[in-house]
Structure 1
Amino acid sequence: MTLSLFDQFMSPTLLGMPLVFLALSLPWVLYPKSCKRWVNSRTLTLQTWFINNFVKEIFMPLNMKGHKWALLLTSLLLFLITLNLLGLLPYTFTPTTQLSINMAFAVPIWLATVILGLRNQLTQSLAHLLPEGTPTLLIPILIIIETISLFIRPLALGVRLTANLTAGHLLIQLIAMGANYLFPLMPVVGLSVSALLLLLTLLEVAVAMIQAYVFVLLLSLYLQENI
């Protein structure tokens, strides 16, 4: 039976039940919880240091109203990073390669920022649809273009995350198949391809973390526009 390269992106099932819900709930089990001891473990200390630095970097430009979103965006970042990194392990499924799941992350938070802007600063939010000093003839066209660009933001978030992870997984699989075929025929070339595969895997680890950071960073920028 010949398998397609895209079979790795199909949601696994067990007895006809999709296991994507199990994959989505697994990351929260892996993180250590805070304890009442005076001295924390190295893992918990590293986790706290990472969260503090992320919150400081993301929410420094925002005013106090935006700081209420710190828990939500920080949890989303940790969730996406964990899902992306777990998807690089053998025999695993990466939920963030599914556009529907990424859109489910992007659309509600983007919509919440838009509603927040319309509620608190209606005039300024509507002013973004029409740049100042626009000629009269271009006003209807620019309003349409800005409205489309506004509604395409969550789609761009979901497509960016999906495309980067999907491309990386496909490239890793193609190079791994090439190394598997070349080892019996040309061991030296196969070893070189394996070294390239190792470097590509390290690059994909970096991409998995960077894409999660970019996803949350863009959401914070959308929030900054509406508070």
Structure 2
Amino acid sequence: MILAAGRGERMRPLTDHTPKPLLAVGGKPLIVWHIERLRAAGFTELVINHAHLGFRLEDALGDGAAFGVRIAWSPEAAALETAGGIRHALPLLGDAPFVVVNGDVFCDADLAALRAAARRLDGDGALAHLLLVDNPAHHPDGDFHLDGNGLIHDDCAPCLTFAGLGAYHPALFDGLPDPAPAKLGPLLRSAMHIGRVRGEHHRGRWIDVGTPERLAELDRELLTTGQRHA
């Protein structure tokens, strides 16, 4: 699943007429970078949610055939936050663990390995597997602690930042009403308290493309270096 329902307030006025995942870097929309990388990792069935200007996403991407994938759309009348959006899309995602990618990050993570981590969730009792990254300058305190056994905790000793890429078991969302806004953090923290969230430290390329300045910086870099980061 690619999360694409956010309003993109920090990106205004760029997002007044264009949904944030359709903003271009390196000559193509952010969300297309994700689709191409997911396809290269073996994903052919994608779910994308949307709210703000969602029709523009559907118009641009269609059913996904042009990218070698099949897209199922999960529209939201108003953005349901991360957990609420995933809960609303569960009928499209099915009963098996699945991978979720934030539509507004740029990352060179090994998505095939994340797919394999999703498959392991059925056997190891974990409810989630998260990718964590070094804390960026705009988020210096981080989010979660990764211990030496691969378990993630919500105490910081020290903390890394959640990359917005993870694998989840559908059971993590049990009990959430639908449709209703719900944040992912409280669900993850509850699962951490019982030792059911695993993860890894991604040390490669990752950018939270959350402001016009970071978007422009990434665009300049990609146009200068060509496909080195593809």
Please confirm whether the aligned pair reaches a TM-score higher than 0.5, indicating the same fold.
no
Max Rg structure: 1
- TM-score, length-scaled by structure 1: 0.24
If each structure's helix is expressed as a fraction of its own residues, which one has the higher value? Answer: 1
| TM-score using structure 2 length | 0.24
Please state which structure has a larger fraction of its residues in strand.
2
